[in-house]
Amino acid sequence: MKNRALLLLLTVFVFGTACNNDDDNNGVILSGYDRMVDKNFRLVDIEISANGQIIANGSTLLDCEKDNVNRYESSGTALTRFGTLRCDPNEPVEEFYFWSLISNESKLILDYSGPSLRVYNILTNDGNRLTLERYTIEDIDNDGTQESIRTITWYSR
């Protein structure tokens, strides 16, 4: 009886440790770049706060925003493909810009050419989810006072 219990315990141990859900890349740890490049990401949630107060969140996202796809190409270009639902009928089919990672892949830079350079903190980048955080100072409510704006966007593949 002891031998059967030992054999059962050994079998459970061998099968329990033989497979690992994280072995998709044969034990290779992917860089942040590799987890983002040539993948499609869709906006799934957003939170915008002004001076610490939430002023918009995912419940305010429009369907025309949710069907867009962001893609970061290995060439250093990125694009947003606007979905079939259009927020603006004059919206282009695609918008191209440049992207790069800095600070040990903890920050994403999006360069829309000209004065439209945006820097994001990368909060999550696991190959399936991408969470970005951005801080700006702007007069969001047009009252003549600058507010501290924090925007967090959640994307999924």
CATH number, domain containing residue 110: 2.40.128.20
Is position 10 within any domain? Answer: no
Q: Domain range spanning residue 146? A: 32-156
3-state secondary structure at position 120: strand
Distance CA 43, CA 96 (A): 17
pLDDT for the residue 24: 53
Rounded average pLDDT over 101-120? 92
Percent of the chain at pLDDT above 70? 83
The total of structural domains in the chain comes to 1
What are the backbone dihedrals phi and psi of residue 55, each rounded to the nearest 5 degrees, phi first? -115, -15
Local confidence band at 8 (pLDDT 50, 70, 90 cut-offs): very low
pLDDT tens, 111-147?
988 777 999 999 999 999 999 999 999 998 899 999 9
Residue bearing tokens 């992207």: 99
Is position 90 within any domain? Answer: yes
pLDDT tens, 18-50?
444 444 556 788 999 999 999 999 999 999 999
